[in-house]
Amino acid sequence: MKSDEVCKIFNVSKATLKIFENAGLFDDINVVDGDINYSDDDIERLSMIISLKKIGLKKDMIADFINSKNKNNQLSILKKQRQIILDNIHLQQKNLDIIDFLIYQLTKNN
């Protein structure tokens, strides 16, 4: 699949694909007539990369995950990110509680 098609399907720019390529997230890039031709394995890998990016992993952690052949390492990365997200949810819940309290304080006198 050519890079234009990949960009449309995954809603990413060519610049983003280039960043992923330069980070070593793809094995062997197949270039045909100056355009990158992505294999099915590349597409599968790109899907994983985009999912990892969406959950908040930084480029170096994505590279560690993608390049790791050890499932325990991959699980560890995912569990750490899960905990980070949970901590953030708890913090945001505390902030919501503060807002609710302030709203209550402001409206109880009316």
pLDDT given for residue 98 in this prediction: 98
Tokens matching residue 10: 């995954």
pLDDT at residue 95 tops 80:
yes
pLDDT at residue 88 tops 80:
yes
Domain hosting 72: range is 3-108
The domain tally of the chain equals 1
CATH of the domain at 101: 1.10.1660.10
DSSP codes, 23-55: TT-SS--EEETTEEE--HHHHHHHHHHHHHHHT
pLDDT (tens digit, 9 = 90+) per residue, 50-66? Answer: 999 999 999 899 999 99
User: What sign results for the dihedral spanned by CA atoms 70, 74, 75, 80?
Assistant: positive
**Amino acid, res. 75:** L
pLDDT (tens digit, 9 = 90+) per residue, 9-51? Answer: 999 998 998 888 888 888 777 888 878 888 899 999 999 999 9
pLDDT given for residue 86 in this prediction: 98
Whole-structure pTM value: 0.81
